[in-house]
Amino acid sequence: MLKDILSIGGKPGLYKLISQTKNGLIVESLIDKKRVPAFASSKISALEDIAVFTEDKEIPLKDVLKAISEKENGGECLNYKSSDDNLKNYFAGVLPEYDRERVYVSDIKKVLNWYNILHGLKMLNFEEEEAEKDETAEKSEEKAEQKNVKKKAVKAKAAISKKIANEYA
């Protein structure tokens, strides 16, 4: 879901990674679809690498976005231009344990703005993500089972070879 979605310091909105260049990246604005270069000197953050501080740990951004979606029943959230008190109260309703000293109002504004952008573009599909996790787990189990079958076959073949070698020795 958040793979290849970037935030670039000093530029509004979100961007999709298109390509890499020698000096940086080529990105496309999710809002107006314009492609622009993002240089290595820019502060570029992938959304999947961002987390929100809580009192005892960090919560990945995707989990925060999911909590917002659940609070809003899949609809839009509070406008990021609301008053600071409204933003803090709203965010406390979404993530009660967020660290009020390390998570600033500017951070809350970014998260809410990002949520509304991704929601407007229908890029928040948490069910699809869960299905992918389940599918990956199933594939891992199948691979492990296939390895066990192969190991047993190799052992059986070795035992038969040993038995034949003993008979002719």
Q: What is the pLDDT of residue 82?
A: 94
Domain ranges of the chain: 5-46, 50-120
- The tokens of 153 are what? 């076959």
**Residue from 109, 125, 107, 108 nearest 62 by CA:** 125
Topology at the third CATH level for domain 5-46: SH3 type barrels. (2.30.30)
User: Does 1.10.10.1650 match the CATH number of domain 50-120?
Assistant: yes
pTM higher than 0.75: no
- Does an H or E element contain 24, and which? strand 24-29
Q: Which residues of 125-151 are buried (b: 16+ CB within 10 A; e: fewer)?
A: eeeeeeeeeeeeeeeeeeeeeeeeeee
Q: What is the pLDDT of residue 129?
A: 53
Q: What is the pLDDT of residue 146?
A: 76
pLDDT digit string (tens) for the chain, length 169 residues: 688 899 999 888 999 999 998 889 999 999 999 999 998 888 999 999 999 999 999 999 999 999 999 999 889 999 999 999 999 999 999 999 999 999 999 999 999 999 999 999 999 887 755 545 555 556 677 777 777 767 776 677 777 777 777 777 6
- The tokens of 110 are what? 């970014």
Q: What is the pLDDT of residue 104?
A: 96
